[in-house]
């Protein structure tokens, strides 16, 4: 072929290549534009009822289209009072040991209907500060949630054993009479006679109170009708059954996933 024909063919090939590259760029731009029509959540979970419907014009200023929440695992927000929190930190002064201990804890969840959730929870995070209004600190616990049984906004109770004190004696707080810093309990003997006995108290655990001195295992104390119990009086003793959440303080009973 002549030089002119060769040059023409080379120019045509270059033009065709440029057209192909332009078409490829157009395809990529179209794919990018098409991607803007699909909204994908950055997390796995469940979406709430949509705020926008098919046909609505939406944009950055429209606001949230819906709210997505991670459900498995799900976080429970729990609060601990300043007193129990300070006591716990005092018993575990080393930060590394305290973190290892907290990570080893198992948390139980009591649902709103009173049933115990079958999955055990684990510690996730502790807030940086106490709330000055409530005097409590927040921490988060994660629970496996297969089947999406738990949903955001639910309330329940969280229980866990923070520390174990073997041989501790605990009695209901309502069984203790406090007067100017001194504590007394009404003890019932085998003949159902009452004796008023001074005692020393330790930690409060929910609705219960630890007795450090003044009682021994097997002693019976008056729980209800303490105001009527007098030294030497005879009473009719009945067994008392503590409520299921007696060892859970009111401040620590509620949690919100």
**CATH code where residue 201 lies:** 2.40.420.20
Domain annotation covers residue 61: no
Nearest-angstrom CA–CA distance, 119 and 142: 10
Positive or negative, the CA dihedral 17, 21, 22, 26 is positive
Contact 222, 229 (CB under 8 A): yes
Domain annotation covers residue 250: no
* Backbone torsions φ then ψ of 89, nearest 5 degrees: -65, -35
* Backbone torsions φ then ψ of 193, nearest 5 degrees: -95, 145
Domain annotation covers residue 179: yes
Nearest-angstrom CA–CA distance, 129 and 80: 12
At 242 the pLDDT is 67
How many distinct structural domains can be found in the chain? 3
- Given 146, 164, 182, the domain boundary residue is 164
Domain annotation covers residue 63: no
**207 and 226 co-located in one domain:** yes
* Backbone torsions φ then ψ of 86, nearest 5 degrees: -65, -40
pLDDT, mean of each 10-residue run, the chain (257 residues):
81 88 92 82 87 84 88 92 87 92 92 92 94 92 93 90 80 89 91 92 84 91 84 83 57 42
Domain that holds residue 75: 69-164
**153 and 97 co-located in one domain:** yes
Q: 118: buried, middle or exposed (CB in 10 Å: 19+, 13-18, 0-12)?
A: exposed
**149 and 186 co-located in one domain:** no
At 246 the pLDDT is 53
**149 and 174 co-located in one domain:** no
pTM (global) more than 0.75:
no
């Amino acid at each position: 072929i002549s030089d002119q024909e060769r040059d023409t063919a080379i120019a045509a090939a270059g033009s065709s290549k440029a057209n192909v590259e332009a078409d490829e760029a157009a395809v990529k731009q179209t794919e990018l534009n098409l991607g803007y029509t699909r909204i994908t959540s950055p997390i796995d979970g469940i979406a709430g009822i949509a705020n926008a419907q098919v046909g609505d014009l939406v944009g950055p200023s429209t606001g949230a289209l819906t709210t997505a929440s991670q459900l498995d695992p799900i976080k429970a927000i729990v609060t601990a009072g300043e007193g129990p929190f300070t006591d716990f930190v005092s018993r575990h002064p080393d930060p590394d040991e305290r973190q290892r201990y907290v990570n080893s804890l198992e948390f139980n969840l009591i649902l709103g209907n009173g049933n115990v959730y079958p999955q055990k929870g684990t510690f996730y995070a502790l807030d940086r500060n106490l709330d000055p209004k409530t005097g409590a600190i927040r921490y988060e616990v994660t629970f496996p949630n297969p089947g999406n049984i738990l949903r955001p906004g639910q309330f329940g109770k969280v229980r866990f054993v923070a520390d174990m004190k073997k041989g501790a004696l605990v009695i209901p707080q309502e069984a203790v009479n406090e007067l100017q810093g001194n504590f007394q309990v009404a003890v019932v003997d085998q003949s159902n006679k009452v004796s008023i006995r001074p005692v020393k108290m330790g930690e409060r655990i929910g609705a219960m109170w630890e007795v450090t001195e003044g009682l021994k295992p097997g002693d019976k104390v008056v729980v209800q009708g303490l105001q009527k119990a007098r030294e030497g009086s005879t009473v009719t003793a009945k067994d008392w059954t503590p409520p299921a959440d007696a060892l859970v303080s009111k401040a620590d009973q509620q949690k919100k996933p």
